[in-house]
Amino acid sequence: MKKQTSFSTKGNRAEVGPLSIQRMLPNRYANKVGPFVFLDYVAPAIKEIITKNGIGAHPHRGIATLTYILQGEVEHSDSAGNKGKIYSGGVQWMKAGNGIIHDENLNYDSQTESKFIQGFQFWINLPAKNKAEKPAHMAVQANEVPKKTLPNESGWLKVIVGNYEELSSKIPDYSKQFLYHIQLNAGQQFSLEMENKTEVAAFLPTQNVMLNNTVFQAGEFIAFDKVAGEIEIKNTSLTTIDILLFGGEEYAEPVIAEGPFVMSSQAEIAAAYRDFYAGKYGRI
């Protein structure tokens, strides 16, 4: 049985520092998909020069941030002393835990010298018991991201978060969660089975895609119901297509999001702001 679509939306345009992005989550229909509470998409663009300044130092608490860069490079620094740089196809993960200040600088890929930039940032909610843990950071380069060829040479699947068959991501899991990047060749199709009570959404970065016999447009965010079933992806175009598929188990604890903080109560949000203004997150 194929899963039913709950809703689809194209999100909202926003400006983050020097970047123009599409904010896909939260949206007018949903505040989260499994543990994922935020998704920004930087659409393909040309960046002519490498800049030294990032988007601006800012705090986080109660979440892990995950940056997946399709084209370009991202340099990270934070108040816990972590630094890292990823290149096209790489993943940068930071557990904010009990509070951190970080900055990211997005440039074109200095290794390939391609001027294009394109990428995503997700926020992954931490369970209440993990929100008070110390911050942590991990940089995963493209060649370290688990990848497998799909049957009949129809395309490939990368596991950015979670597991798929024999593949396992290096990114830590605090609940059942997954983030897959799937690429299908022209005229090909691929299906995945989802367990009952699994929240799942798809995002189509640049091309139209047929999902369960319905065509959705480039730039759409599509959420599915929570009933066990199949998601069938068909590429009816003459070029390769990309799709992000993500979600996980339904999050049962309270989720209170305000600004850069995601906590379990309004009192914890107030404490997050109070500690930040008191300088307890350190500085870069």
pTM for the complete prediction? 0.96
Tell me the two tokens of residue 83: 């630094």
pLDDT at 102 over 90: yes
- Per-residue pLDDT tens digits for 156-190: 999 999 999 999 999 999 999 999 999 999 999 99
Helix (H) or strand (E) holding 272: helix 266-277
**CATH number for the domain running over 5-277:** 2.60.120.10
pLDDT at 65: 98
pLDDT at 187: 96
Domain assignments of the chain as residue spans, ordered by start? 5-277
Band (18; pLDDT cuts 50, 70, 90): low
pLDDT at 20: 77
Residue type, 193: E
pLDDT at 52: 87
pLDDT at 150: 97
